[in-house]
Amino acid sequence: MTHTADLGSRLQDAHPSLPVVLVGEARLPTTSGTFRALAYRQADGVEYLALVTGDLGDGHDVLVRLHSECLTGDVLGSLRCDCGPQLHAALEAITAEGRGVVLYLRGQEGRGIGLAEKIAAYALQEQGRDTVEANVDLGLPVDARDYTGAVAVLRDLGVRDVELMTHNPVKVRALEAHGVPVLRRRDLPVAQTVDNLRYLRTKRDRMGHELPGVD
């Protein structure tokens, strides 16, 4: 059995500048497939869970999803967003591909503003504000996500370049800026509901997300 400290020091030795440490690794069978789950921690305590399927081999052209934490969507099945269906579609996609990584990014809840603030933003949305305006009204950034830790995890996994499952051009640019080329972008199915239509439109019209199918 490998202990946390061994894994951590091994990683630190191999990559002295990495801001993340591998803390644990285990098999994770799920309804969307069976994955190798690798849990990482950043110096500030933020944790990331990499769900890996198949042999990443030379790390070239790996199917990847960077999934921002969304307790309401991922766990509770909230219809205010499309996060839950996207997470499951991504897990099923890497299972079907036989090779890939879904990186679950804790600390990115509410586009990085946190769960409590996201709920406060929902209250403002109920008064007519859109998702961008609600964050601004709360004195918070529209999008506070940072992808440095995510890139460090991908590097530790040996991922060199990717096919990225996203509609968000900022994620593509963030990976490219950190030296991880995005060879292609792959659409995920968009689960449109009456409750998330305004959220999807705001992503398309104000945040530049590639969602041409949203009406």
Ligand X SMILES: Nc1nc2c(ncn2[C@@H]2O[C@H](COP(=O)(O)OP(=O)(O)OP(=O)(O)O)[C@@H](O)[C@H]2O)c(=O)[nH]1
Indicate the annotated binding residues for GTP: 65-69, 86, 109-111, 131, 166, 171
Pick the closest to residue 193 from 37, 75, 73, 96 (CA basis).
Answer: 73
Segment 116 to 135, residues that bind ligand X, using CB under 6 A? 118, 121, 131, 135
Contact (CB, 8 A) for 196 and 80: yes
Stretch that binds ligand X, among 18-26, 110-118, 153-161, 173-181 (CB under 6 A): 110-118
- State in angstroms the smallest separation of the CB of 27 from ligand X: 26
49 backbone dihedrals φ, ψ, rounded to 5°: -120, 115
Give yes or no for residue 42 binding ligand X (CB under 6 A).
no
Considering Cα of 74, then 154, then 31, then 27, what sign does the dihedral take? negative
- State in angstroms the smallest separation of the CB of 77 from ligand X: 13
106 is catalytic: no
Contact (CB, 8 A) for 200 and 190: yes
- State in angstroms the smallest separation of the CB of 113 from ligand X: 5
Helix, strand, or coil (residue 210): coil
Query: Which residues form the interface with ligand X (CB under 6 A)?
Result: 68-70, 81, 83, 86, 108-111, 113, 118, 121, 131, 135, 166-168, 171, 199, 203, 209
